[in-house]
Chain A
Amino acid sequence: MSVYLDHAATTPMRASARVAWIEQSERGGNPSSLHTSGRAARAVVEESREQIAGALGARPSEVVFTSGGTEADNLAIKGTYAARLHSVGASRLVVSGIEHHAVLDPVEYLVKRQGAEVTWLEPDRDGHMAVDDLRAALTPDLDVAVVSVMWANNEVGTVQPVAELAAVAREHGVPFHTDAVQGVGQVPVDFAASGADLMTVSAHKVGGPVGVGALLARRDARLVPLVHGGGQERQVRSGTLDAAGIRAFAVALVEAVGEREAHAARLTALRDRLILGALGLGLGISVSGSWSEGDAAGRLPGNAHLLVPGCEGDSLLYLLDAAGVECSTGSACQAGVPQPSHVLLAMGYPEAEARGALRLSLGHTSTEADVAAFLGALPGVVERARRASGAA
């Protein structure tokens, strides 16, 4: 039995979601059809929409279903950019430098191919965005199309002051987007209370299926569609609605949000045990991002991100995998080669330090035995990885 400590990548589907998924897939029916089975599918989609909106502090009409978090991020960035360029000539994006690639890459695409300009917001050493930096970036002479700052970082788990940032954007009349894929189910996420105009959520990070997510978009948010066709989802996102996926998404999300408080307390304790255990091994390991024991608000309860000096992240991954522990460096691969994390580099870590990163992410199936197995394997793994680093 392997120890799964990569819940931030994807977390096992909840049994309730799996049942709902299969049940709905057996029913069939296109939610856009006018006949009986179409209407029945439509009812399932709309009921799910209401449940998802309810769980996230949004109105049902603000939920735009997508194929997942990446599409929702793309729609938020490119769709808002195109709309704001057209309506007010705004061509600048203000984006945090530690976003997921699903935000970074659309931004870079707009800059390279569409003539957009970008102001990157740089984090402090813990990965926090400063409200004053955003204020400075929104000086009146710059026509900003959209601001995007994630709710919580997928690598180091730092939770951003989203409500304060969104308030600053609102003062300047600029739409604010937040990628809340990692935050939902771990920290309280309320769309209306956050003041954000656009928010990305994904099903498979909360125990739903892969391939479904949503962009929450305030009713006054202007979005140019990326996908044209049958005009589903307020004409913003065409394509036949995946009733089974959406149903399972709603079931998983409602369950995750309902259990959140107890779940967060349990994960925080496990996370702290893992971090304290790793720091106590005498291997020079440090924790990156904002962390203090018991803190379930400033750092994602399920996120432990360690820097192991003198090691290559991919050696650590291989050796841990061979020892039955599945985890991640947290950063993106290029053709299978882990790259030094742009998040850690933005936070001011030198490349050599950033190369020894290890992300352990806990979730609903995690146990104390998982943490113990990881901590038991770590000393031998680090010793070998250091030898390999010296060799290569």
Chain B
Amino acid sequence: MRVVAAMSGGVDSAVAAARMLDAGHEVVGVHLALSRSAATLRESARGCCTIEDAGDARRVADRLGIPFYVWDMAERFQRDVMEDFVAEYQAGRTPNPCLRCNESIKFAALLDRALALGFDAVATGHYAQIVERDGADGEVVRELHRAVDAAKDQSYVLGVLDDEQLARAFFPLGDTTKPRIREEAAARGFSVAKKPDSYDICFIADGDTRGWLTSRLGEQPGEMVDAVSGEVVGEHRGSYGFTVGQRRGLGLDRSSLDAEPRYVVGVEASTNRVLIGTQDLLGVDVIEADHARWCGAAPVGEVRVGAQVRAHGEEYPAKAWVDEHDPEVVHVRLDSRIRGVAPGQSVVLYDGTRVVGSATIASTDRASVTSPR
């Protein structure tokens, strides 16, 4: 097959490209230029859109002897990922930009362009596995599964991909652990073998998300309110800077509060209020999520699943069913309450290691207890 290897300049996508080549595919390396300011050159290699990263990717491509191109997707990225990120926070939700990037850049804009240019598929360095099975009518059924390396598993940010996207995707690292990938990179002589992993949001260079949002949205002073009593317990400079479950950086007026730790238990964008409460208010077991995407057929009736509500988070036993009126909406009932479920994040549903589907968390609640909101 003719395959575009998306090469960020990191160790994972380098090994992914090499493995595609070893598997006998015709491989062309493509680095995505995602930043408008192409001159960005950061001190540390934490992102995936610096000149240094493009140079690292090019060196790997040179070493593999494959053609290498930089494709400018900055405009699409700006619109579909960065502006969406800002709008989501402004609306009181907590978005996952990596997931959005997979959905609308890597397996949309990049894949579409690759297909138009005569390629068959896109390969990335994501840690996830695609398992092919024979379907009932002789067709090949593709399933998305967790990676072997549970700590690095990225199936959560790939759960948005539909069947057509999965059919055009390769994740060659899913069967290997990260330490082995680094060893392999070193054995292959890649200069990026010891390059640090990127953890942060690639377009926020210093990792200060709240500061970055403030520079775009401006200060929006508002009240922090006790979720139960309605009493004002502090002030903030923009409700967009808070996420459900957050404990640090609240700057509360402790004089009116008891010693128990306080958390953000809700963000009300319409009134610009941040709701504060004790730990017990954080626990939820009812999730309503929209924009449902199914890897394969949508579940019929109530199904037992494992639900993961944030990247690299735990998986919790639950049951899920599709809304009877709206096929885009899915209801999740967790077996027990969990904390820190933030609207805007995805809930990804698993059956064993298989991704069943994913949806964006719209609201949360607690069964049989009056909601604080």
User: Which residues of B are found within 8 Å of A318, using beta-carbon distances?
Assistant: 28, 67, 69, 117
Measured CA separation A304–B309 after assembly (Å): 57
How far is the CB of B33 from the nearest CB of chain A, in Å? Answer: 5
Question: Do B72 and A337 have beta carbons less than 8 Å apart?
Answer: yes
Q: Beta-carbon contacts of B91-124 to A below 8 Å, as 1s and 0s?
A: 0000000000000000001001101111000000
CB neighbours of A392 from chain B (8 A) = 73, 76, 109, 112-113, 116
Q: Is A155 an interface residue (CB 8 A)?
A: no
Q: Which of B28, B38, B112, B113 contacts A335 (CB 8 A)?
A: B38
* B51 interface residue (CB < 8 Å to A): yes
A319 sits at the interface (CB 8 A): yes
Chain B contact surface mostly: mixed
The segment out of A121-129, A281-289, A383-391 that lies at the interface is A383-391
Contact of B51 among A321, A335, A385 (CB under 8 A): A335
Q: Which residues of B contact A387 (CB under 8 A)?
A: 116-117
The verdict on B146 contacting chain A, using a C-beta distance below 8 Å, is no
Given A318-B67, A318-B69, A322-B67; A335-B54 close (CB under 8 Å): yes
Q: Which chain B residue shows the least CB distance to A317?
A: B69
| Nearest CB on B from A45, distance (A) | 36
A319 and B54 contact, CB distance less than 8 A: no
Distance of A170 Cα from B69 Cα, bound (Å): 46
* Residues of chain B in range 32-84 having any CB-CB distance to chain A below 8 Å: 33, 38-39, 51, 54, 58, 67, 69-73, 76
B113 neighbours in A (Cβ, 8 Å): 315, 388, 391-392
Which residues of the other chain, A, contact B112 by a CB distance below 8 angstroms? 391-392
User: A302-332, CB under 8 A of B: which get 1 and which 0?
Assistant: 0000000000001100110110000000000
Set of chain A residues within 8 Å of B76, measured between Cβ atoms:
392
Complex contact A388–B116 (CB within 8 A): yes
CB pair A334–B115 under 8 Å, yes or no, is no
Contact mask B15-32 → A, CB, 8 Å, 1/0?
A: 000000000000010010
A321 pairs with B116, CB closer than 8 A: no
Query: A140 within 8 Å of B by Cβ?
Result: no
Chain B, residue nearest A389 (CB): B116
Q: Which listed residue (B38, B67, B115) contacts A337, Cβ 8 A?
A: B38
A115 at interface, CB cutoff 8 A:
no
Interface positions of B (Cβ within 8 A of A)? 28, 31, 33, 38-39, 51, 54, 58, 67, 69-73, 76, 109, 112-113, 115-118
Instruction: Name 26 interchain pairs, CB-CB below 8 A, sorted by A.
Output: A314-B72, A318-B67, A318-B117, A319-B117, A319-B118, A333-B70, A334-B38, A335-B33, A335-B51, A335-B54, A335-B70, A336-B33, A336-B69, A336-B70, A337-B33, A337-B72, A384-B116, A385-B117, A388-B117, A389-B116, A391-B113, A391-B115, A392-B73, A392-B76, A392-B112, A392-B113
Known: A319-B117, A336-B69, A391-B113. 9 other contacts (CB 8 A): A314-B69, A314-B71, A318-B69, A336-B31, A336-B54, A336-B58, A337-B72, A387-B117, A391-B112
